[in-house]
Structure 1
Amino acid sequence: MGKKRKGTRRRTKKEERPVWARVRLALACVLLASCPILMLLFSSSPDSYFPAYRDFSRSLASVLAGLTSWAPFALWDFGLVAAAIWIVFTLIRRLWKREKLLPWASWTLLFLAAVAALAVDGWALNHYGPTLAEEMDLPVHEYSEDELAEATGYYLGRAADAAASVSRNDDGSLAEQDFSELGQIAGSSYTVLSEQYPFLSGSTAPVKELVLFGEPLLYSGHTGMYWAATGEASVPADDAAAELPFTMCHEAAHRLGIASEEDANFAAFLASSTSEDVRFVYSGYYDAFAYCLNALYSQDSARAQDVVAEALSANESGTRLVFADRAATQEHYAAYEGTFEEVGTSVNNSYLKSFGETEGVKSYGLVVDDLIAWYEMGL
């Protein structure tokens, strides 16, 4: 046998060349740097990138949603936990064995950078695109208190018309619905609308249940989430019954490249109120009424109380059901209020403002502008 030269050893499989770790770090830095650079470019000159970017983003979301559609639950929900455990486990393992940290750090940073790039570069830049009202030529304007009160009454009436047709328990409360069935309907809820408005076309994958992070999300003050890295629209199963179909449509709207919360709310109203399923119709008009009434309370609480008193004085069963559902919804979410909600709201507020939604979390309520314009056009 040949004699082994002193001081030499074979390179094991684990001991890769340091150059590859540096390549991964460089690639991760490029991906991370692309996020703020593109945000700056898109915010300064959005007309140069739309609608081409939205078409690209919608196509990417469709591909990702298709790849993850085999799971009946949100994969990112479990994937996030699994990734965190794996990162910590591999770090401890390397420290225990006194192995070099550069390969571990390069892979970890590259993974995190890829997720960030998919979220920002692949979807979040839609925040800088044209509004849904602009794409629909909807004449949104600064409304008066009288217009708001009138629209509030209109949406209450439409919700009341559908209230009795929704399945209910003996005490009048909304009956529990099959989550999977609602998710299937919500996923394809924009199919008919897209024939008239092509910018509402895209993935029809079901809206999924958020299992692990469902309850924490509710405690953070949120009722749904779109995870751009996997193309999954997801909501907790414990969302309030009256709002669940609407919320599902809201998250499905995000998957179509509608990033603005105001626009996602308006898209959800359009999808649910034009649905063939009465549960969605009721949820759409219920939420439209709730947003309008909340806005009226903010402007003139006495006027809002008069609207409520007048509606209840008619003693119509549908109207009573709507207000009963409103009370049940408020009671349901009151159980999740607390410090964690304040923190979650603050984080979301900062996120929205960083992408140009200057109103932050208040942008959810700006859908009232669109709802009033929609009502006044008699659409």
Structure 2
Amino acid sequence: MGELYARHLYPVLSAFLSALVSWIPFSMEEWFFAGACVLLVGIPLWSWKKKKGWKWTLRAEAELLVGVYLWFYVGWGINYFRKDFFTRSSLEYVAYQDSTFHHFLADYTRRLNQAYTQSPFPSHEVIEKEAKQLFAQVPSRFGLSSPKAYQHPKQVMFNTLYSGVGVLGYMGPFFAESQLNRELPSLQWPFTYAHEYSHLLGISSEAEANFWAYQICIRSVSPAVRYSGYFGLLPYVLSNAAALLEEADYRQLLSSIRPEILQTLREKQAYWQARYNPVVGRVQELMYEYYLKGNQIPSGQKNYAEVVAMILSLPDEWWS
């Protein structure tokens, strides 16, 4: 059922919802969610004032929650129940082998170092247009929806809150909108945009969203966008390497990466850490962990780093 929805119903539904709100300059998702929260608080107060009774109040609250729940899953959430990346693409999961992983690390670091550039980035509009052209070329077996010209990323309204919990962007399931943090540095913008847009195209897995962000960015004609793709993958490569390599091998890997790139990575981490609120952030992390595990992502937030396994499974000429 999930794959049938993702390939046939969702593309039509998301195109309609996106078109419905594309002319609105701000995120409808945020205001919809904020409105639902206001209603949850306001219904009991209104009920008490009008002497409606507790049964009416509970029924009204339940109807609101059920409505939001159903809209979430019908609007996008059933994508969580589609076939996984390997099944859809007919690719075989490659079990970990030292030689294979070391070969990947050597090839990736070589490409990362070569991609390093201080070239200026194209405008967001140019990046977006090229990304959609590349998404449209993805082989149909992967099951992505077709990108639409009127689907544009929207900046979040409550930006301080998102930065405070480390959220760079998100896909809105109620109106098929992608939202991006207004404080995104230029280097992170292309990768984050492609990640969130892949969610809008029907991808639920965070690992697969990272996979497509990487694949789209490294195919750009812009050197800066290509570097964003390689740099965006770096934290996940390093987390895999730290878990699988001996300490000496891990230090050797770090020494093989250009110092300028590692310095940029440290600066990026410091940039977001300065905006992070540990109390609110911890609450958000726990809620998001349970959310992912409750929606067919058993590894929770560790799923982001599983992108490396997808890359390792790719045969030559897989894009064609």
**Residue 202 of structure 1 aligns with which residue?**
146
Q: What pairs up with 1:237-276 in 2 under 5 angstroms?
A: 237-276=182-221
TM-score by length of 2: 0.84
Instruction: Give the root-mean-square deviation of aligned CA atoms.
Output: 2.9
Structure 1 position 75 matched with structure 2 position 18:
no
8 Å CA contact retained: 1:149, 1:296: no
Q: Give how far 1:230 is off.
A: 1.0
**Residue 54 of structure 1 aligns with which residue?**
6
Distance 1:95 1:156 in 2: 63
Distance 1:185 1:333 in 2: 28
Q: Which of 355, 358, 374 matches 2:298?
A: 358
Q: Deviations over 1:98-154 (max 9, x none)?
A: 567877776664444232112123422222222223322333311223432332232
8 Å CA contact retained: 2:207, 2:305: yes
Distance 1:61 1:211, change over 3 A: same
What stretches of structure 1 of length at least 5 have no aligned partner? 1-48, 168-174, 312-318
Percent of pairs identical after alignment? 20
Distance 1:236 1:340 in 2: 17
Distance 2:93 2:185 in 1: 30
Q: Give how far 1:236 is off.
A: 0.7
Distance 1:163 1:277 in 2: 12
Q: Deviations over 1:73-107 (max 9, x none)?
A: 32212332244345545654554455678777766
**Residue 238 of structure 2 aligns with which residue?**
293
Q: Give how far 1:361 is off.
A: 0.9
**Residue 268 of structure 2 aligns with which residue?**
329
Structure 1 position 309 matched with structure 2 position 255:
yes
Query: Secondary structure of the equivalent of 2:171?
Result: strand
Q: Which has the larger radius of gyration?
A: 1
Structure 1 position 346 matched with structure 2 position 291:
no
Distance 1:228 1:305 in 2: 41
8 Å CA contact retained: 1:131, 1:263: no
What stretches of structure 2 of length at least 5 have no aligned partner? none
**Residue 310 of structure 2 aligns with which residue?**
370
TM-score by length of 1: 0.72
Q: Deviations over 1:18-58 (max 9, x none)?
A: xxxxxxxxxxxxxxxxxxxxxxxxxxxxxxx2532112123
Query: Secondary structure of the equivalent of 1:253?
Result: helix
Query: Secondary structure of the equivalent of 1:51?
Result: helix
8 Å CA contact retained: 2:198, 2:212: yes
Q: Which of 105, 114, 120 matches 2:67?
A: 114
How many pairs does the alignment contain? 313
Structure 1 position 159 matched with structure 2 position 103:
no
Q: Give how far 1:342 is off.
A: 2.2
Q: What pairs up with 1:129-144 in 2 under 5 angstroms?
A: 129-144=82-97
Distance 1:310 1:105, change over 3 A: closer
Distance 2:38 2:69 in 1: 19
Greater Cα shift, 83-92 or 244-253: 83-92
Distance 1:360 1:307, change over 3 A: same
AA aligned opposite 1:54: A
**Residue 46 of structure 1 aligns with which residue?**
none
Distance 1:70 1:101 in 2: 41
Distance 1:244 1:61 in 2: 23
Q: Give how far 1:228 is off.
A: 0.7
Query: Secondary structure of the equivalent of 2:178?
Result: strand
